[in-house]
Amino acid sequence: MKVLVIFALALIAVQAASDEELWAQYKVDHGKTYRDIKEEQQRFAIFQSSLRTIEDHNAKYENGEESYFLKVTQFADMTPEEFQEYLALNAQSMPQVGDEVYEPEESLQAPASLDWRQKGAVLEVKNQGACGSCWAFSTNIYVHHYLCLTNSYVTIDCAILHSALPGDSPNRWRQENCYNIISDRILKSLHLPSYLQTGCLEGQLIIKRNKKVSLSEQNLMDCSGSYGNDGCDGGLMTSAFQYVHDNGINSEADYPYKGRKGSCKFNRNKSVTKVGKIYAVKKNEDALKEVIASVGPVSIGIDASSLSFYGGGVFNPSSCSSIALNHGVLAVGYGSADGKDYWLVKNSWGPSWGENGFVRMIRNHNNKCGIVSMANFPDLA
């Protein structure tokens, strides 16, 4: 009995040492700094809990009980409650919005699989940092794809894209004034869809006009408040599309990302494009597949509550709402792997998250995670 106790204590000591090493590397990899020793101890305890969650899940993955695996990400020092606050689409029970529902041509035969990255229609993954601007990033990626399919003019090479806040530590977030601190909670609210609004528009620029240009998420954050968006405190993709419809949008080079809401500096003379109609996608997965095949990447809202540590594989969590949507992303393709159909989805949490910034989400599984609950895209004017 005594030997077993000593072995158990030794195992615990080894585990603790391993956690310490992982913690030290984690802080370096993600630029994490904390206010004081007390906060760092609290964050380390949360980090250890995250490690156990990841280890337990991955043991099931190795046994064939799960279709995806987890890994340490920038969110490993956040509690589940704090991560929920990080997600800020706030689209629960949101009605379908659009000028009209898109109807693909009857003769369309969608391919069995499609990846718009292979056609050069998807820009590099960006990083919204701490700011909840995913709605703006979703908008612009779409327009970018559209321009690149209709003329051969290339204004900005994809290689210039950067992570807005590469060291996304809570301390750095505070320095950027991107969120409000409430007691010891890391985030109050974040405006996630701005990254994916720009993404949707960028995609259309590529596909329809063969024009690669990184569009300004900051433009949307600063200037679309009267359309119901609120900078780092949340926004909706369709509202951002409507802003671009009415005003246009500047390039990222002319209006760079700051990661915090500021005064509007939009220059109408330097507008890259406008949008025409805003289309809604029918709320079924076959319809979304047809739209992606015929039009290009589509802005969607999802329940991302379980995505914090996603590392790879086909994401199929045991529980995922089709109604309580909280994150804006971009569907850029679809396919099948190991007998499981999936959607290929571009996120805005940087290239180190997931599969180089992307996630494969289960497809044809009763709209799991709300893939088709709020799918929209614009036509360029």
* Catalytic annotation, residues: 134, 327, 347
Q: Report whether 277 contacts 317 (CB < 8 A).
A: no
Instruction: Give bridge partners of residue 343 from the DSSP assignment.
Output: 334, 361
Pairing of strands 327-337, 340-346: antiparallel
CA angle 153, 158, 159 (to 5 degrees): 130
The 10 Å Cβ neighbour count of residue 80 is 14
Closest by CA position to 173, among listed 28, 35, 24: 35
Residues with Cβ within 8 Å of residue 188, at least 6 apart in sequence: 85, 179, 180, 181, 182, 233
The 10 Å Cβ neighbour count of residue 287 is 18
Count Cα neighbours of 220 within 13 Å in the Cβ-side half-sphere.
42
Measured in whole angstroms, the distance separating CA 133 from the mean position of its chain's CA atoms is 9
Burial (CB count <10 Å: 0-12, 13-18, 19+), residue 59: exposed
Amino acid type, 97: V
Residue corresponding to tokens 């679309």: 224
Query: Cβ(184)–Cβ(42) under 8 Å?
Result: yes
Q: What is the Cα–Cα distance from 237 to 150, expressed in whole angstroms?
A: 24
Give the Cα separation of 223 and 231 in Å (integer).
9
- How far apart are alpha carbons 373 and 180 in whole angstroms? 30
- Spatial CA neighbour of 342 closest among 376, 369, 321, 318: 369
Residue 111 tokens, joined: 């391919």
